[in-house]
Amino acid sequence: MRIRDTGDLWWKSAVVYCLDVETYMDWDGDGIGDLPGLVQRIDHLAELGVTCLWLMPFYPTADLDDGYDITDYYGVDPRLGDSGDLVELIRTAHDRGIRVIADLVVNHTSDRHPWFRSARRSRTSRYRDWYVWRDDAPPDTSEEVIFPDKENGIWTYDEPTDAWYRHRFYKHQPDLNTANPEVRDAIAKLVGYWAQLGLDGFRVDAVPFFLADAANGENDDIERPHQFLQQLRAFLSRRTGDSILMGEVNLPYDEQRLFFGDHDADGDHEGAELNLQFDFVLMQQMYLALARQDAGPLADTLLARPDIPSDAQWATFVRNHDELTLDKLSDDERQEVFDAFGPDPDMQLFDRGLRRRLPPMLDGDPRRVRMVYSLLFSLPGTPVLFYGEEIGMGENLAAEGRLAVRTPMQWTSGKNGGFSDAAPSRLAGPVTEGAFGPAHVNVSDQRRDPDSLLNFVQKLARRYRECPELGWTSRVEILEQPHAGVLAHRSTWQDASMVALHNLGPEAVRVPLHLPDTGEDCRLLDLLEDDEHALSSAGKVEIELPGYGYRWLRVVHPGSRRLL
């Protein structure tokens, strides 16, 4: 591989930014964010260093699950604009060098979708087998419920045809039956439609759930569920060769590997499936490490990552749009994180996660906040930001459930944080208040402050893009050093190598490093500060690291032609 090849597999070194159009920027004054408003803020994303914009659902919706209950896969919700506005957004983003992907939500539809309305009216409907039904009363399925505060089971009785339909999520979201080839064809058709309009790929929602039924039908044309994902990837690649599927697969590593298409655990691609997967395991261990101020859980998890195909990638993140799930931690570990970052039961959700953003969890300590985002961008993988993270937005616990972290974007210190001119009662959601409200946290003020978090994240994004080893390293190296609170890791690809140091504790430390493949003619250049360190003839050096400190140290060999 050569540096030019990074443009072909662009997702391995992208900077992804997720937003909900509804809460980003209201341009027509009705209190709801819209596509024309987002277009007006594209330059903010370009300046930030975003190279891939991920749109949460913009489709017509019953709006009982913040857009994830879709009533029409081929439209744009009229509150947000129309298809022409979406095309203008894609065109403008592409002009700024930003690709655009969107949520693909095909595990379920809304119960108001025309397919389900037809299916529930008659057992002979052509759409009846597009959903999952049973005639006999179901057993207790309370243990299978995704949202235990809202549902008691995953089956609901439907009187018109005297049957139960399955819904792994809310009862108003009946599951599509991917064992039916017609359903799989319909999914491919809608993927092709949006690709034709210019989307560069999809973030695939709840992948294990929508894949679970595939290959379960009689006389089916596939033998294994993963064949469906392989076919979908192949179809999308034929339509637009550089499009991606970024999957939500919250499973242990050995099971995640299968969704990359690696079915014999050798790191090769037997069947191309997802291009990227979110690394939920690493994210949860990161919060455990932060709670303990001990880098051990992070180091162990990075070493435990399985080998993945060379064209696949991990998507790393600090926060996403859902609850901050801690379901892969033990009960005791989860309680440690709750005690540190969300001790109030109102801060917790579903007994497994937190409905908070990072800055309030860290008591607004700018040292810790910056250290965590430095860590995010330095981890091997593709960093994904959730809107507002670049300025340090907080949550609003007055909002229900997950909506606590989906509050309107804070652009200015003015009315409604500059999100909308509408009355507060008409807004898509309540604006965050208090120390993390717009008066103290907003884009406008931080643009003019060279020491702001916004400018720091811009620098991280720029440096990340300048360091292909962070996205392309095949295996991270954990460097030995004596401090439990320090993560020292090295990423190498071809002639590019970088050492990252992060101190999860409050005390300053002196970190000894040994890089045996270097010598006294080599040096470590700090990419975040104006500093460098000479290495001894044995490749040794000691680095001062303040409490919650961080360093990005490029290994510079004599005669290197890399830009410094």
Hey, which residues are catalytic here? 205, 248
- Residues near 218 by beta carbon (within 8 Å), at least 6 away in sequence: none
In the sheet with 523-526, reading across from the earlier edge strand, the strands are: 477-478, 486-493, 496-503, 550-556, 523-526, 531-534
Instruction: Let me know: does 49 contact 373? Beta carbons within 8 Å.
Output: no
Sign of CA dihedral 324, 327, 329, 335: positive
CA dihedral 78, 391, 327, 103 (to 10 degrees): 30
- Secondary structure class of 503 (helix, strand, coil): strand
- 366-378 vs 280-292: helix axis angle to the nearest 10? 150
- Secondary structure class of 118 (helix, strand, coil): helix
How many angstroms separate the Cα of 93 from the Cα of each of 49, 407, 440? Answer: 12, 23, 29
- Look at the block and give the residue holding tokens 């320090």: 486
Q: Is 102 exposed, middle or buried (0-12, 13-18, 19+ CB in 10 A)?
A: buried
Q: Which helix H or strand E contains 370, and what residues bound it?
A: helix 366-378
Report DSSP letters for 189-209, one per residue: HHHHHHHHTT--EEEETTHHH
Residues recorded for the chain: 564
For residue 374, which of 469, 501, 482, 465 has the smallest C-alpha distance? Answer: 501
The rounded Cα 557 to chain-centroid distance in angstroms is 35
Beta strand extents in 414-521 (DSSP E only): 477-478, 486-493, 496-503, 509-514
Instruction: Let me know: does 86 contact 197? Beta carbons within 8 Å.
Output: yes
Q: Which two tokens stand for residue 555?
A: 């290994």
Q: Ramachandran region of residue 165, left (φ > 0), alpha (ψ -120 to 50) or beta? A: beta
How many angstroms separate the Cα of 526 from the Cα of each of 69, 530, 550, 555? Answer: 47, 6, 10, 9
**Strand pairing of 531-534 and 523-526?**
antiparallel
110-117 long-range contacts (CB < 8 A, ≥24 apart) are 110/61, 110/62, 110/64, 110/69, 110/70, 110/71, 110/172, 110/173, 111/62, 111/69, 111/171, 111/172, 111/173, 111/174, 112/62, 112/69, 112/71, 112/172, 113/70, 113/71, 113/72, 114/71, 114/72, 116/174
Q: Is 530 exposed, middle or buried (0-12, 13-18, 19+ CB in 10 A)?
A: exposed
